[in-house]
Amino acid sequence: LAEAEAQGWTIVSQDPATGTLSATATTFWFGFKDDVAVRVRAEGAGSVVDVRSTSRVGLSDLGANAARIEAYLSSLAARL
């Protein structure tokens, strides 16, 4: 949750019991809204983080969703 907020995302919902979070990310230049979903689940002695980011409009995001996921995971790894 803290890392999602640090990315500037608007939290739509969260469920600690299932380890899921839904958020909206807004693009800087045009203000497009993109949907982001994060799921954290236990695996072995650690955890696995799954992230999905999808654009609501347009045929291409020009790599914005992939860049958003990479930035989130990099920042999260730096916090741990």
Domain spans, the chain: 2-79
pLDDT digits (tens, 9 = 90+) for 9-19: 999 999 999 99
Q: What is the pLDDT of residue 45?
A: 94
Residue 8 · residue 25 · CB < 8 Å: yes
pLDDT digits (tens, 9 = 90+) for 17-27: 999 999 999 98
d(CA 22, CA 43): 21
Task: Tell me phi and psi for residue 75, to 5 degrees.
Answer: -65, -40
Task: Tell me phi and psi for residue 52, to 5 degrees.
Answer: -130, 135
CATH among 3.30.310, 1.10.357, 3.30.70, 3.40.50 for 2-79? 3.30.310
Query: Given phi > 0 = left and psi -120 to 50 = alpha, else beta, which region is 58?
Result: left
pLDDT digits (tens, 9 = 90+) for 30-79: 889 999 999 999 999 999 999 999 999 988 888 999 999 999 999 999 98
Within 10 Å of residue 27's Cβ, how many Cβ atoms?
A: 13
